[in-house]
Amino acid sequence: MPTAFITGISGQDGSYLAELLLQKGYRVVGLVRNAAADHWRLSHIRNDIELVEGQMLDEDDMRKALKAAHPQEIYNLAARASSTQLFDNPVATGDVNGLAVLRLLEAIRTVDPDIRFCQASSSELFGKTRESPQSEITPFYPRNPYGVAKQYAHWITVNYRETHGLFACSSIVFNHESPRRGEEFVTRKISRAVAAIKAGILEKLPLGDLEARRDWGYAGDYVRAMWLMLQASQPDDFVIATGETHSVRDFCRIAFGHVGLDYQAYVVHHPESRRGGEATQLVGNAAKARNVLGWRPTVSFEELVCMMVEADVAALGAKTS
C-alpha cells in the first residue's frame, strides 16, 4: 500500500485528492494545523485518513512528519489562496506560498530524496501575459503577491529537480471549482446566492466585473492530473486547464437559469468590487498534459456550474428544513 502525504488536505483540492488516492488503494496522511478542528470537507472520509499536526513554516515539523509517515508521494496543496489574500498580508503570503515550499523540499532532500513531489502552481504565474493561450513555456509575469510567491515556489521546485535530482513536478493549474470551493470565491458566491434567492432568503447579488473571463475547470479533474504527474516516468511541469474561457456573466446566466431564474433580475453590478491588479486574459494550453499524461477534463463548464448550484440548493434545504 503506497503512502501519500498531502499538505492542505482540508481544502477543496486536498479533499478531492484524498478521495482519489483512497480509491486507488493509498494510505493517505494529511498535514493540518489543528487535527481537532472542523474539517468539513473531510467528514465523509475522516475515518479512512490520518491527520497529523504541523506547521509548514517549521522545517523541523516537516522532517518529523515525513519520517513518521514514510510517504512515497507528497502533494503540496497548502496555500494562502483566496481572492482577498492575493493582496492582504504579502509577507505571510510569501512565507506560506513561497518559502514553505523550500522548507518542504529541503525536508524531502534530507529525509528521503526518493519521495515524489507535486507542487500546486497557479495560472496567476502568467498574470500580465502577452501570449494566449498560456503553456509551460509562456513567460511568467505575476501581478500580485500570491502569484509572485507561487513563482518562487515553482522555480525552487525546478531547481531541486535539476540540482538535487528529486522527482519534483509543478502542476500549473488554472481556475478550478466545485461544491467545496470556499465561500469567498466568486463562483461559490454565485452558486450560494442562487440557492438563497430561489429559497426567498436573499433578494440581490452584488458582483464586480461581469465580463471578467476565466478558464474554469472541475477540481476533481485537476487533482487527477496531479496524481498522473507522479506516475510518469520522468518529472516535469504541466499546465492543467480546459482551454476555454467563460465570463462571470456566463456563470450567472447558467447558474440562475438552472433554477428557472433570469440572472438580470437579481445581479447588481458594483464596479467598486473589482479587485486591483487584475490579470489579463488567462486560458491554458494543456496539450502537453494530454499528450504525455493522457489527461483530459471530464466535466464541462455548464455541468460544473449546475453541480455547484445543486449542491448549494440541497445544502440550504437541509439547513432550513
Q: Which three cell numbers stand for residue 257?
A: 437559469
**Contact (CB, 8 A) for 56 and 7:** yes
Q: What is the 3-state composition of the chain as percent helix, strand, coil, each rounded to the nearest 5?
A: 45, 15, 35
Catalytic position from the list 19, 73, 124, 177: 124
Catalytic site includes residue 141: no
119 DSSP β-pair partners: 76, 170
| Whether residue 124 lies in the annotated active site | yes
Q: Which residues contact 291 (CB under 8 A, 6 or more apart)?
A: none
| Gyration radius of the chain's alpha carbons | 19
Q: What is the DSSP letter of 211?
A: T
Residue of 122, 123, 171, 178 with catalytic role? 122
Q: What are the beta bridge partners of residue 50? A: 29
Within 8 A by CB and 6+ apart from 304, the residues are 177, 178, 216, 217, 218
b/e map of 52-85 (b: 16 or more CB within 10 Å)?
Answer: bebebeebebbbebbeebebbbbbbbbbbbeeeb
User: Terminal CA-to-CA distance of the chain, rounded, Å?
Assistant: 43
Question: Residue-wise over 103-115: b if at least 16 C-beta within 10 A, else e?
Answer: bbbbbbbebeeeb
Catalytic residue among 146, 160, 218, 263: 146
Query: Is 122 a known active-site residue?
Result: yes
Which residue is listed with cell 447558467? 254
Q: Catalytic positions, please?
A: 122, 124, 146
